[in-house]
Amino acid sequence: MSREHWEEQAANWAAWARTPDFDAYWKYSPGFFELVPPPHGRTLEVGCGEGRVTRDLARLGHRVVAVDPVTTLIRLARDADAGNDYLRGDSAALPFADGSFDLAVFYNSLMDVDDMDAALHEAARVLRPGGVLVTCSCSYHVSDADFLEMLRSAAADIHRNVRLLEHRGQAQDHPTVLGIPETHYLKCVICSV
Ligand SMILES: C[S@@+](CC[C@H](N)C(=O)[O-])C[C@H]1O[C@@H](n2cnc3c(N)ncnc32)[C@H](O)[C@@H]1O
């Protein structure tokens, strides 16, 4: 979806995301946070929207810098949380030096960026060697094999290996139907880079 679309829908997205028990986040995010490595150094969230993932990471003790290209969403995120840094930025050109973070998180955002490959290259670049990338998004249009290859190649371009720590799909109540590849829609990967 375009940045203009997110800008237009920013207030609606915040109302959606902040209504208790309204969307899947409320049911599935606790399981996701159990997989996220414990706080260590600096954490980056890419595609933070109005900030709920960053606020929940902060509750777990993470010190987070969060980016999103949409001005209104960044303003809403800052208004709701003075304790973490929210910056306007694009996943294809993250405004950080090489090796700045220990952990990078994409939650429900990688399917929305214009250039997934560039986003993964940038995430690998801003992670310190051995830093952890966590990505959990409904990228149903990209196969598992293509997604893992994108990750491998992003890391290889900066002479790094990817070590898979977790590789999951959606929960059991949304089973993949064999023969219908798009039903395997969730790509959840935790890896060191
Ligand atoms: C479905 S929302 C998810 C927000 C948040 N991660 C959550 O789970 O509540 C997707 C977000 O991706 C952001 N996004 C779109 N294109 C992006 C890009 N090129 N770089 C970073 N974020 C982007 C959108 O602005 C939007 O905030």
Residue pLDDT, tens place only, 37-49: 999 999 999 999 9
Q: Is the CB of 70 under 6 A from ligand 1?
A: yes
pLDDT in tens, 137-177: 998 889 999 999 999 999 999 999 999 999 999 989 999 99
pLDDT tier at 2, thresholds 50, 70, 90: confident
Burial 163-181 (b: 16+ CB within 10 A, else e): eeeeeeebeeeeeeeeeee
Q: Is the CB of 49 under 6 A from ligand 1?
A: yes
The pLDDT assigned to 126 comes to 98
Q: Is the CB of 91 under 6 A from ligand 1?
A: yes
The pLDDT assigned to 42 comes to 98
User: 87: domain CATH number?
Assistant: 3.40.50.150
Its pTM stands at: 0.96
pLDDT in tens, 84-116: 999 999 999 999 999 999 999 999 999 999 999
The pLDDT assigned to 141 comes to 83
Which structural domain, as residue segments, surrounds residue 72?
A: 3-192
User: Tokens 């139907």 belong to which residue?
Assistant: 177
Query: What distance in angstroms lies between residue 109's CA and the mean position of ligand 1's atoms?
Result: 4
Name the nearest CA neighbour of 47 among 88, 4, 99.
88
Distance (Å, rounded) from C-alpha 110 to C-alpha 116? Answer: 6
Neighbours of 34 (CB within 10 A): 7
The pLDDT assigned to 3 comes to 82
Region 58-67: mean pLDDT is: 98
Percent of the chain at pLDDT above 70?
99
The pLDDT assigned to 151 comes to 97
Q: What is the dihedral of CA 19, 182, 45, 82, to 10 degrees?
A: -10
Query: 144-156 and 116-126 helices cross at what angle (nearest 10)?
Result: 40
Cβ(66)–Cβ(44) under 8 Å? yes
Distance (Å, rounded) from C-alpha 1 to C-alpha 113? Answer: 7
Count: domains in the chain: 1
Task: Determine whether 85 is exposed, middle or buried from the number of CB atoms within 10 Å of its CB (0-12, 13-18, 19+).
Answer: middle
| pLDDT surpasses 80 at 1 | no
User: Tokens 């933070």 belong to which residue?
Assistant: 48
